[in-house]
Amino acid sequence: MPLPTYDTPLIFESGQPGRANRYLPEGPALETLLPADALRADLPLPDNSELDVVRHFTRLSQKTFGIDTAFYPLGSCTMKYNPRINDAMANTPALRDLHPFAPDHAAQGALAVMWELERALASLFGMAAFSLNPAAGAHAELTALLIAKAYFKQRGETQRNVVIVPDTAHGTNPASAAMVGFKVLSLKSDAQGRVDPDDLRRVVGPDTAVCMMTNPNTLGLFEPRIHEVSDVVHEAGGLMYYDGANANALMGNTRPGDMGFDLMHLNLHKTFSIPHGGGGAGAGPVGVAAHLVDFLPTPVVRANEADGTPSTATGWRESADLTFALDFDRPQTIGTMRSFWSNFAHMVRALAYTYANGGDGLTMVSKLAVLNANYIRASIRDVIDVPYDEINRHEFVASAQTLKRETGVRALDLAKALLDRGYHAPTVYFPLIVPECLMIEPTETESKETLDGFIAAFREIVATAKSDPERVLAAPVNTAVGRIDETRAARQPDLRWRARDSTG
Amino acid sequence: MYTPHTSSDIEAMLRTIGVDTLDDLVRVPDAVALRAPVEVTPQHSEIEIAERFRRFAERTSAGTYTSFLGAGAYRHYVPPVVGAIAMRGEFLTSYTPYQAEVSQGYLQAIYEWQTYIALLTGLDVANASVYDGATALAEGVIMAVNATGRKAVLVSQAVHPNYRAVLRTYAEGLDLAVDELPYGADGRTDLSSLEAALADQRYAAVVVQSPNVFGAIDALPAGVGARIKTTKTVVIGVVAEAMSLAALAAPASWGVDICVGEAQSFGVAMAYGGPHVGFIAATTEHLRRIPGRLVGKSVDGEGRVAYVLTLQAREQHIRREKATSNICTNQAHCALCATIYLAAMGSSGLRDCAALNVARTSELRAKVTAVSGCAARFSGPTFNEFVLRVPGRAADVLRALEEKKILGGLDLGRFYPELDDCILMTATELTTSADVDRLAAALSEITVRAAAHV
C-alpha cells in the first residue's frame, strides 16, 4: 500500500494575512510597552485557518512512513511497537506541565518515576547507578567519555588519551571520542566478525583510556570472548564502555556489568519502546560501575527513607515509602550535560514499558527479538549472501555483493524496491566492513505473518533482480517521489523557503 | 508484553532456524551468564500501570500552585490542535528520514521548521534541531572554535547559568577556556571590558543572551557586533525564550552570526525539563559547520520537488571522528510540535502572545514592586520576566510563599551568591490579574511579618 502522492505546498505559500485563529485575547500594541529600537519591524509568518493547518499536517503525516504504517526492519534502530499507554502516561497533566524548577516537595511523584526507572536499569544491566541526564545515545557517549576523562585526571593518568573502537562500531563512537580530545584507534574485526582479545592485547598500553564495544556487535553477533576483552583492557588500566544500541538482544539474559563493562549507555528510544518521532527526542541514560558513580552528571535523584536516612537500595525497589530530592552538590561530578535534568517525558514512557513487561517479560522480549531476526535470516539465506551465517542475535547482516556482480542490483536498489512493496528498508551500507550490506532488525513486536510477508517480498525482489534487473533498478515507483537528486541538494543547498519578492 | 507470538509460531520458527529452544538462541559463555533472574518490577496490566501513574501524579503537587517560574522553561498556552496532529502515528513512530522517498511529509515539516527559525532569527539557515538550548550553545561555540581555530570563548554572566554550566562541561572535553563578562546595574551585560578582551584576538566567540537570564533585553548596542567581527570573532546570540522572537528585534539585526536557543515555548510541554527543543541558526558563512541534520529541497528523477537530508558529509555516520559533531538523534518530534504551533498561531497570534507576555509581566512588576521592602533589582526593559529584590533571603521568602500555594519564582542565589535576596519572576499570557494580586498580597503579608521579626 503506497503512501499518497498528492502535492503539498509549503505552509508559507498558503494562508492570508489576518486570517488568525483566536487562541488568545488580543494583545496590546507592543510599542506602548517597550522602546521602539528593541522591537522587530515585522513578523513575516503566514496566517492560516486551523482547518487548513490540520489538513496541511495531516497530509504531511500521510506522506510519512512510521512503524504504525508497516514493517520497519531498520537495523540498529530497534523499531518496535510504541505502546500508546506510554504516551497517555506521559500526558498526565501533573507530570506533563511540571516546571523543572518546581521545589522537590511539589515534584515527589516525578522524582519517584526517575528513581524507580534508574533502579530498574541498574538491576537489568548490572551497573551500580545510572544518570538519566543525557538526551540521546551520542550525548550519552560524550557523557561517559567525560566521566572517563575525569576519572583518569583524578588518578593522575592524563596520558590516557586513546579510545579503541572496533571497525564495526557506530559512527557516533569515534565522533564522541574526538569531542573529548581522545585519539581513536580502530581495531579490525577477526574473520568471525568479532574482536580478538589477542589482537587487542597488542594495541593496549599506558595510553589506553577506553575501549568502546557494542555487544552483540553491529553485525548482530555476540562477542563470546567479551570477558577476556574486558580483562585485557582492565589489565592495561583502561575502562570498558558498552554502547547499548543493541541492548534489545540481551535483557534478562546477560548483563554488561557482568561482562566487565565500567560504563554504558542505553537508547531508551530503541530498547524501551519510546517513539523515535522522526529522529528524536531520544533518551540515553548512562550507567556506571561503583568506582565511577561520583563522576556522574548532576543532578542525581537522592532517596531518603521515611526516617530521613539516605536509602541504600542496590537493586529494584518501589518508591512509595521513600522521599526524594534532586542532588546538585556532588564535588566530583563532570557537571551537567543539558538545560534540565532529563528527557523526563521519556522516563515516564520507559517506566510504563518496564511495568508492562516486568523482568520476565523483558527477558522474553529479547528472546523473541532474536527469534524473529534468525527466522528472517534462515528464510532468505538461500537467495542472498549472509556473510555471518550462524545464530545471530536481534539483527543480522546480508550482503548484495554476489547479486550485484550477477545482476547489477545493489543493496540500495533492494532497499528502494522494498519501499515500493510497502515495507521500510533495512539499514544499508552499515556496518562499513560488509560490502553491499543490508542490516535487518525485525524486533520482537512483529508477528510471524508480518515476517512471512516481508520474506516473500524480499525473495520476489531478488528473483526479479535476476530476471529483470531494470525493474529493480528503477525502484521506487510507487512512492510520493522517486530517487532524489542528492548531489544537487548538497551542491546548491536550499534549506529554507524565501518569499518570492525577497532577494535576501 | 507487546509480543504477538503464539507457542505454535515459536515452534515453527525454531524449526525453520534449526534449533530446539529459545534458550539455544541466546546462549552465552558461562563467564557472563546471569546467575539469578534480574530483579525488577513484576508484570502489570494497563489498568495497573494507569493506577501507578495516578499515584505518581498525586505525589506531584506543583500544578496546584500558582506559579511564577520561568528561567528557561515557560508555561504557555498550547492549542489542542498541536497535540492532536503531532501525535499522529506516522509522525510519532517514524525514524530519522534517511529513506526520503517514504518520508517526504516529515522532511517537508522539518524544512518548514528550518524556515520558521530562519525567519524568526533573521539568519540565513537553521538546522533540524538539537537537544535543547544549553547544548545548542555548546554546539554553537564548537562552530565558532572550528571557524576561528581559537580555544577560548567570552560569555556574558547574564547567560542562563545552566547553559553556562553545560558549556563548561563540554569545554572540559574540548580543552577550551571559558571567560566571562560581568552584568551591570541595568541587568544587562557590562561591555566596558570588551575592547580590552578583544585586543589579543584570542576568543573564538562572544556570547550574549537576550532576553537574558534576568529577563532584560540584552541585544548588543548598535555597532558592537560589527566591532567584534573586525577581530574575526564570532558573535553568538542565545535565545532561551523563543516567544521573545515574535516581538524583539531579530538577532541578525543586532549583529549575531550564530543564534542558538530553546523553542520549548512553541507548543512543547515543560515536562519537568524535557524533551525540549534546541535550535541553531547561522549566516551562510557558517553553513558547513552547523552540526546535526539539515533538510534540503531538491528534485527527483522526474523533476518533482523532493526533500532530502543533505550535507551529510558533515555528519558522524560518514565522517566518524572528523565530523563537525557527534550528534545523531535530535529533537525532531518537538520541532514538529513547534512547527504546528507556529502554523496555527500565525503571525498575528504570535504577536498577540508576545505582547500579552510583556503586558502581564509589566503588571506583575508594578504590583510586586509596590510591596513595601520589595524593588526591581535592575532598571532595564524586560520581556516576560524580571528580578525582584526582597527583604531577607529569597529562599526564605519563596518558602513562605509555597505555604500559601504560590511558586514565586527562581531563587537567583542558587546561581549568583550576590543575588541571594533576588527572585526571578515570570508572567506569561496564562498569568491572570488575580494570580498577580494573590502574589502581591502574599508577599506583602510575608514581608510585613519578616519586618516585625527584625
Among partner residues B269, B300, B329, which is closest to A282 by beta-carbon distance? B329
**Smallest Cα distance from B414 to chain A, Å:** 11
Domain boundary among B340, B375, B402: B340
User: Within this chain, do residues B224 and B358 fall inside the same structural domain, yes or no?
Assistant: no
> Does residue B370 share a domain with residue B317?
no
Residue at which a domain ends, from B340, B367, B384: B340
Same domain, B118 and B136: yes
Closest-CA distance, B448 to chain A, in angstroms, reads 24
Q: How many CB atoms lie within 10 A of CB A214?
A: 23
**CB B439 within 8 Å of CB B364:** yes
What's the grid cell of residue B14? 525454531
Task: Quote the pLDDT of residue B454.
Answer: 55
- Domain assignment present for B262: yes
Number of domains in chain B: 2
With a CB cutoff of 8 Å and minimum separation 6, the contacts of A136 are A267, A269, A280, A281, A282, A283, A284, B131, B327, B328, B329, B330
Q: Enumerate residues 98 to 157 of chain B having a beta carbon within 8 A of any beta carbon in chain A.
A: 99-106, 108-112, 114-116, 118-120, 124-126, 128-129, 131-135
B258 and B199 housed in the same domain: yes
C-alpha cell at A43: 513578523
Last residue of a domain, one of B296, B318, B340: B340
Q: What is the pLDDT of residue A1?
A: 61
CB atoms within 10 A of CB A154: 12
Domain membership of residue B312 (yes or no) is yes
Same domain, B365 and B273: no
| Residue B176 shares a structural domain with residue B310 | yes
User: What is the secondary structure of B294-338 as a DSSP string?
Assistant: -EEEEEBTTS-EEEEE--GGGSHHHHGGGSS----S--HHHHHHH
The CATH number linked to B214 is 3.40.640.10
Confidence of residue B341 (pLDDT cuts 50, 70, 90): very high
**Confidence (pLDDT) at A504:** 39
Nearest-CA residue of chain A relative to B61? A106
- Per-10-residue mean pLDDT of chain A, 504 residues long, equals 80 92 92 95 95 97 96 96 98 98 98 97 96 96 97 97 91 88 93 93 97 94 95 98 96 96 97 96 97 98 93 85 96 98 98 97 98 98 97 97 98 97 96 95 98 98 98 95 94 93 47
Using CA coordinates, name the residue in chain B closest to A392: B25
- B26 with A142: Cβ contact below 8 A: no
Report the distance separating Cα A429 and Cα A477, nearest Å.
22
> Measured between alpha carbons, how far is B311 from A471 in angstroms, rounded to an integer?
29
Please report, for the domain that includes residue B415, its CATH number.
3.90.1150.10
Average pLDDT over residues B172-181: 95
Which residues in A lie closer than 8 A to residue B133 (C-beta atoms)? 339
Is the model more confident about B325 or about B50? B50
Measured between CB atoms, does B348 come within 8 Å of chain A?
yes
Q: Compare all CA atoms of chain A with the CA of B79 and give the residue at the minimum distance.
A: A23
Question: Best interface-test mutation with A: which of B44, B56, B137 has the largest number of A CBs within 10 A?
Answer: B56
Grid coordinates representing A142?
A: 560524550
DSSP B67: E
pLDDT reported for residue B453? 67
Q: Which residues of B touch A256 (CB under 8 A)?
A: none
> In this structure, are B357 and B448 located in the same domain?
yes
Q: Is residue B131 part of a domain?
A: yes
Q: List B residues 270-309 in contact with A (Cβ-Cβ < 8 A).
A: 270-277, 287, 293-302, 304-306, 308
Nearest CB to B112 within list A10, A77, A110: A10
For residue B20, being part of any structural domain is answered with no
Query: In this complex, do B134 and A338 lie within 8 Å of one another by their Cβ atoms?
Result: yes
pLDDT the model gives residue A503: 44
Q: Cβ neighbours of residue B95 under 8 Å, at least 6 residues apart? A: A72, A74, A77, A79, A276, A278, A279, A424
- Residue B236: φ, ψ to 5°: -110, 125
Question: Which residues span the domain enclosing B189?
Answer: 80-340
Indicate the DSSP class of residue B210: S
* Beta-carbon separation of B174 and A179 below 8 A: yes
Average confidence (pLDDT) over B98-124: 97
Cis-peptide, bond into residue A299, ω within 30° of zero: yes
In this structure, are residues B132 and A338 in contact, taking their beta carbons and an 8 Å threshold? yes
Residue B24 lies in a domain: no
Closest CA to A268 of A346, A200, A190: A346
Name every chain B residue with its beta carbon within 8 A of the beta carbon of A184. Answer: 320-321
C-beta atoms of A357 and B43 within 8 A: yes
Same domain, B173 and B146: yes
The answer as to whether B14 is a domain residue is: no
**Whether residue B363 sits in one domain with residue B270:** no
- The answer to whether residue B15 sits within a structural domain is no
| Shared-domain flag, residues B68 and B137 | no
Q: Give the closest-approach CA distance of B228 to chain A in angstroms.
A: 20
Specify the pTM. Answer: 0.97
Neighboring chain B residues of A368 at a CB cutoff of 8 Å: 3, 5, 10, 22
**In this predicted model, what pLDDT tens digit does every residue of B430-444 receive, in sequence order?**
999 999 999 999 999
Distance CA B232, CA B235 (A): 9
Domains for chain A: give ranges and CATH numbers: 11-62 (no CATH), 106-354 (3.40.640.10), 360-489 (3.90.1150.10)
B68 plus B92 within the same structural domain = no
Q: Please tell me the distance in Å from B374's CA to the nearest CA on chain A.
A: 22
Number of H helices, E strands in chain A: 16, 12
Say which DSSP state B258 is in.
Answer: E
pLDDT (tens digit, 9 = 90+) per residue, B239-267? 999 999 999 999 999 999 999 999 999 99
Taking contacts as CB-CB distances below 8 angstroms, the residues of chain A near B90 are: 61-62, 64-66, 68-69
| Within-domain flag for B5 | no
Residues B426 and B329 in one domain: no
What are the E-state strand segments in B199-326?
A: 205-209, 234-239, 258-262, 278-282, 295-299, 305-309
